[in-house]
Amino acid sequence: MALLLGKKLKRTYQVGTQLVTALATVSLEVNSGQFLVITGPSGAGKSTLLNLLSGLEQPSEGEVLFNGACLSTMNETKLANIRNAAFGFIFQIPHVLPHKTVLENVALPFQYGGLSNASQYMDQCLEHLEYVGLKKLGDRSPNTLSGGELQRLVFARALVRDPQIIFADEPTGSLDAANSKLILELLKEQAYKGRAVVMVTHEKEAMAYGSDILKLDKV
């Protein structure tokens, strides 16, 4: 059984009286250890596809199966728990809570699931901060971090619940070459460790890291 299965996924949006197709019908399969790169021109629906696969929104047609369970028919709590425990997210803009410290931001997933004892998960969070090279910055405010450091913070947060799949939407889109390389190497390492990685990018250098490539065309 495939880890993640997208069956005839299609997404349309109602904009005023018009029905806009954001994603034309796509099917795909993702497995453990796979580093799937999704690419294509701007507006082709790459982000939309990633959102559908990761349960951030629901398809207009088709379905997504995670370990055989359909994401679009399961209840909201269960889906949220899967996102919390089984998925890790990295976005183009590093989303953080600016009023919390770097370490607290890394620990945020535990606020919504997993170990309820802070003394237990804080060690894990510190380990992950160390893994991305931010160990010394744990007490700082995210506002004081550079773009590259922020993206690494997000990376640590994505890993902290030991996810089965990492979803990354243009994770290097706003980084310089050195930081991009660092993030891509980390992603590759995670795939090597057996996690599935699904990454959207339109950068040639980034595509080279993928084990498989899915190219979307503009609708």
Ligand X SMILES: Nc1ncnc2c1ncn2[C@@H]1O[C@H](COP(=O)(O)OP(=O)(O)OP(=O)(O)O)[C@@H](O)[C@H]1O
Q: Which helix (H) or strand (E) holds 191?
A: helix 177-192
Residue 213 near which of ligand X, Mg ion, another protein, none (CB within 5-8 Å, type-dependent): none
Both tokens of 22, joined, read: 């954001």
Query: Shortest distance, CB of residue 27 to Mg ion, whole angstroms?
Result: 20
Residue number with CB closer to another protein (154 or 209): 154
Distance CA 206, CA 84 (A): 26
**Binding-residue total with ligand X (CB under 6 A):** 11
CB 143 within 8 A of CB 107: no
Handedness of CA 119, 112, 140, 181 (dihedral sign): positive
Under rule CB under 6 A, residue 43 binds ligand X: yes
Which of 17, 18, 77, 144 lies at the binding interface for another protein (CB under 8 A)?
A: 77
Query: Shortest distance, CB of residue 74 to ligand X, whole angstroms?
Result: 22
Residues 175-214 binding ligand X (CB under 6 A) are none
Question: CB neighbours of 120 closer than 8 A, spacing ≥ 6?
Answer: none
Distance CA 42, CA 64 (A): 23
Interaction site with another protein (CB under 8 A): 51, 54, 56-58, 76-77, 80-81, 83-85, 89, 91, 95-97, 99-100, 108-109, 111-113, 116, 157
Interaction site with ligand X (CB under 6 A): 13, 15, 20, 22, 42-48
